[in-house]
Amino acid sequence: MIFGIGIDIIEVARIRKAYKKLGKRFLDGIYTEREQSFCLGRANFAEGLAARWAAKEAFLKALGTGHSRGVRWRDVEIIDNERSRPTIKVYGKPAAFLGNRKVHLSISHLEDMATAIVIIEED
């Protein structure tokens, strides 16, 4: 049974602009160290950051909390090792809200846009 569905799309230029303006402060407010390392080592780093932004937004929509109720950006981590599909790891409040539900994630990005969809399934 489906608990929730979330989708998000973002312009890569928006993320690139925030990074250029705020640098490490922007990264540390949104992304975990593992996410930063994964994305910043690539020529198209802004696409990866935007895809993770979209995935976090889609997850919080599917969870039904948004950015309220004590949920922080860094409580949601997108794990991707290029050998498997991306997955979501949650900490803190989102982990408590998620419980034992199963999360399905799909992300995609182009030069200009990034998108993600999340489906949360009841156990």
6: nearest Cα among 71, 54, 77, 72: 54
Three-state DSSP at 97 gives: helix
pLDDT class of 123 with cuts at 50, 70, 90: confident
Q: Which residue has the tokens 């976090």?
A: 56
* pTM passes above 0.85: yes
What is the structure's pLDDT at 71? Answer: 87
Domain map of the chain by residue range?
A: 2-121
CA distance 102 to 76: 14
pLDDT averaged over the chain?
93
* Catalytic (active-site) positions: 61, 109
What is the structure's pLDDT at 81? Answer: 67
For residue 97, count other CB atoms closer than 10 A to its CB: 18
Burial 38-72 (b: 16+ CB within 10 A, else e): bbeeeeebbbbbbbbbbbbbbbbbbbebeeeeebe
CA distance 34 to 86: 13
CATH of domain 2-121: 3.90.470.20
Write the pLDDT tens digit of every residue in 67-90: 777 789 999 999 986 677 899 999
Write the pLDDT tens digit of every residue in 13-32: 999 999 999 999 999 999 99
What is the structure's pLDDT at 47? Answer: 96
The encoded tokens of residue 90 equal 């949650």
